[in-house]
């Protein structure tokens, strides 16, 4: 019997981009496993080359939002070219937004790529790989409209304890800086029953947290004639037994209504965290961006959220250097950021994206001016984040432990995860817990309650348990699901190598590999 028949082909999916891409990558993995592939043992082991070394198929799921997205893709492909020269049987596939945009141009620029597929036809990935092997030539297939809703496809979820659930795909907005509507199409909503069925299913499989995904979640329902559907969906999630944390991303300020705020405040398992993209604090720039709200409305939303949920942590997105931005416009952004008191902010220097209206606007801001303004914005937000996190010292938080949040956890004997408001928290382990056998230590998916004892701009420290203070561990069915997955993975690896079954109950050490931000 040949080695190919003895051992199934292995795959690696590498994700570049947003949460929707992560969701799509889980579908790609599910499709490949449904077709008989298995995840490469080298996945997650470090650099792209280290991870790809054990894979027969490497899939890169791309982003097209930022200018450096293409640089990242072709940088990755350049690395893989040498590996393909060593192993001609290696297949390389490129999907996602940049594939939808560049199409056959990817193969023209990187002729060692075997498959190119877009955002609308994820389901054809296994067939295209097989066709490329059979025909000995690259296969490029792009659809102009969604054929199969991604959420109906097989999935291999990255996390046993936290799940992404898509409620819609595409976007009906026309922001002048954004390429997403062109690449993902008009918004299409899933029916509430389908969404809730998937949420119920992932909870039954062990998930404790669910993040509802859409390009503009609070316009959900317009497609089937119910503008109040998103608030209703949040309340319905509150009735799902076993679901302890609900998050969502991303809303749009123009469509964010008080019924959603009420649903957040009145539904106990909807977390007090909100990501509300500002983009600019200048009304002039917001108008040029075709963002159909103004700074006063934006600040009013934050006021109403905090009135109903004083403990809410609010984050945002901001673009610096949009065409035509003057110093006065930028100062308006700084003023709104100061007033907003964001817990953190994702800040970006504007970059021209071919195919967007803003790319052709006059008055492109010089790069040195953009860089200088960007530095000032970062310094302001760093100060605010430092001050806001300092207010959390003395608060008791419940932390959902994660797999890869803390890079120094092993050295510091801390475990890391997210508080209810989505702040990153590093929790110190009392001696009695740190010295437990591995099978009895806290696991990803378990919950620890501790008191915040220190803070920094980007995280909190909760070392109360080290001095006899608050430290409560709740082992959860999500932690059980994580442990079961680890045992299954170890057993499969052992069987593939012809060794004895792996021992049951492998738990994580003191370094935690993510509950993603919602």
Binding site for [4Fe-4S] cluster: residue ranges? 18, 63, 97, 171, 175, 178
**Does residue 506 fall inside a structural domain?**
no
Reported as type and span, the H/E element at residue 252 is: none
Identify whether residues 136 and 156 lie together within a single domain. no
Of the CA atoms within 13 Å of residue 476, those in its CB half-sphere come to: 28
335-339, long-range: CB within 8 Å, 24+ apart, which pairs? 335/281, 336/278, 336/281, 336/295, 336/298, 336/299, 337/278, 337/281, 337/377, 337/380, 337/381, 337/384, 338/380, 338/384, 339/299
Asked, for residue 199, whether it belongs to a domain, the answer is yes
Say if CB 172 and CB 209 are below 8 A apart.
no
Query: Residue 504: inside a domain, yes or no?
Result: no
Whether 137 and 162 map to the same domain: the answer is no
CATH of the domain at 408: 2.40.50.140
CA distance linking residue 495 with residue 425, whole number of Å: 37
Residue 384 lies in a domain: yes
> What's residue 185's pLDDT?
86
DSSP, collapsed to helix, strand or coil, labels residue 293 as coil
Same domain, 99 and 241: no
Query: According to the 3-state scheme, what is the secondary structure of 388-442?
Result: HHHCCCCCEEEEEECCCCCCCHHHHCEEEEECCCCCEEEEECCHHHHCCCHHHCC
Annotated binding site: 18, 63, 97, 171, 175, 178
Same domain, 409 and 376: no
Bridge pairing between strands 344-349 and 313-320: parallel
Which among 360, 391, 422 is the end of a domain? 391
86 part of a folded domain: yes
User: Which pLDDT score is estimated for 422?
Assistant: 98
| Residue 416 to residue 402: CA distance in whole angstroms | 6
Write down which residue in 141, 161, 189 finishes a domain: 141
Are residue 312 and residue 241 in the same domain, yes or no? yes
Q: Tell if the pTM clears 0.85, that is, is over it.
A: yes
The Cα 230–Cα 235 span in angstroms is 9
For the domain that residue 114 is a member of, what is the CATH number?
A: 3.40.50.2300
- Closest C-alpha to 518, from 439, 437, 419, 394: 419
Q: Tokens at residue 175, please?
A: 């922001």
290 and 307, same domain (yes or no): yes
Instruction: Count up the domains in the chain and report the number.
Output: 3
Indicate the burial class of 503 (C-beta count within 10 angstroms; 0-12, 13-18, 19 or more): exposed
Residue-number span of the structural domain to which 170 is assigned: 150-391
* Structural domain includes residue 127: yes
| Residue 215 shares a structural domain with residue 271 | yes
Whether 348 and 420 share a structural domain: no
pLDDT digits (tens, 9 = 90+) for 451-488: 999 999 999 999 999 999 999 999 999 999 999 998 88
Task: Kindly state whether residue 497 falls inside one of the protein's structural domains.
Answer: no
Q: Which residues pair with 212 in a beta bridge?
A: 165, 248
Domain end point (choices 357, 391, 425): 391
pLDDT under 50: residue ranges of the chain:
1-5, 501-518
Say yes or no: 286 and 363 in one domain.
Answer: yes
Residue 501 falls inside a structural domain: no
| 180 and 283 assigned to the same domain | yes
């Amino acid at each position: 019997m040949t080695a190919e028949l003895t051992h199934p082909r292995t795959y690696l999916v590498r994700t570049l981009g947003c949460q929707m891409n992560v969701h799509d990558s889980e579908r790609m993995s599910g499709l490949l496993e449904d077709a008989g592939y298995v995840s490469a043992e080298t996945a997650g082991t470090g650099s792209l080359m280290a991870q790809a070394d054990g894979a027969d198929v490497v899939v890169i799921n791309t982003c097209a939002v930022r200018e450096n997205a293409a640089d990242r893709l072709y940088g990755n492909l350049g690395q893989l070219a040498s590996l393909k020269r060593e192993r001609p049987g290696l297949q390389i596939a490129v999907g996602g937004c940049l594939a939808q945009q560049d199409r056959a141009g990817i193969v023209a620029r990187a002729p060692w790529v075997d498959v190119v597929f877009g955002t609308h036809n994820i389901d054809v990935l296994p067939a295209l790989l097989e066709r490329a092997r059979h025909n000995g030539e690259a296969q490029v297939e792009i659809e102009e409209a969604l054929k199969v809703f991604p959420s109906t496809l097989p999935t291999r979820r990255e996390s046993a304890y936290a799940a992404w659930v898509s409620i819609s795909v595409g976007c009906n907005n026309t922001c002048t800086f954004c390429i997403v509507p062109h690449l993902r199409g008009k918004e299409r909503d899933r029916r509430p029953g389908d969404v809730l069925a998937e949420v119920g299913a992932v909870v039954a499989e062990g998930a404790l947290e669910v993040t509802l995904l859409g390009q503009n979640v609070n316009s959900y329902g317009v497609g089937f004639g119910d503008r109040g559907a998103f608030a209703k969906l949040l309340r319905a999630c509150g009735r799902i037994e076993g679901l302890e944390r609900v998050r969502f991303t991303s809303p749009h300020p123009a469509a964010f209504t008080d019924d959603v705020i009420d649903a957040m405040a009145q539904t106990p398992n909807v977390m007090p965290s909100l990501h509300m993209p500002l983009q600019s604090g200048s009304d002039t720039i917001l108008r040029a961006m075709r963002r159909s709200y103004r700074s006063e409305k934006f600040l009013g939303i934050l006021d109403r959220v905090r009135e109903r949920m004083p403990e809410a942590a609010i984050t945002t997105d901001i673009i610096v250097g949009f065409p035509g931005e003057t110093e006065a416009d930028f100062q308006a952004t700084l003023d709104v950021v100061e007033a907003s008191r964001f817990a953190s902010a994702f800040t970006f220097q504007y970059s021209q994206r071919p195919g967007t209206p803003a790319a052709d606007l006059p008055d492109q801001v010089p790069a040195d001016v953009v860089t200088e303004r960007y530095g000032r914005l970062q310094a302001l937000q760093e100060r605010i984040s430092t001050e806001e996190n300092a207010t959390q010292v003395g608060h008791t938080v419940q932390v959902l432990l994660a797999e890869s949040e803390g890079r120094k956890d092993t050295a510091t004997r801390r475990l890391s995860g997210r508080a209810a408001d989505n702040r990153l928290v590093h929790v110190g382990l009392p001696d009695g817990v740190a010295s437990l056998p591995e099978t009895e230590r806290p696991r990803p998916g378990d919950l620890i309650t501790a008191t915040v004892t220190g803070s920094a701009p980007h995280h909190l420290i909760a070392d109360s348990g080290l001095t006899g203070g608050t430290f409560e561990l709740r082992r959860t069915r999500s932690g059980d699901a994580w442990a079961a997955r680890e045992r299954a993975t170890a057993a499969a690896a052992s069987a593939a190598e012809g060794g004895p079954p792996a021992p049951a109950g492998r738990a994580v050490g003191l370094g935690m590999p993510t509950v993603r931000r919602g």
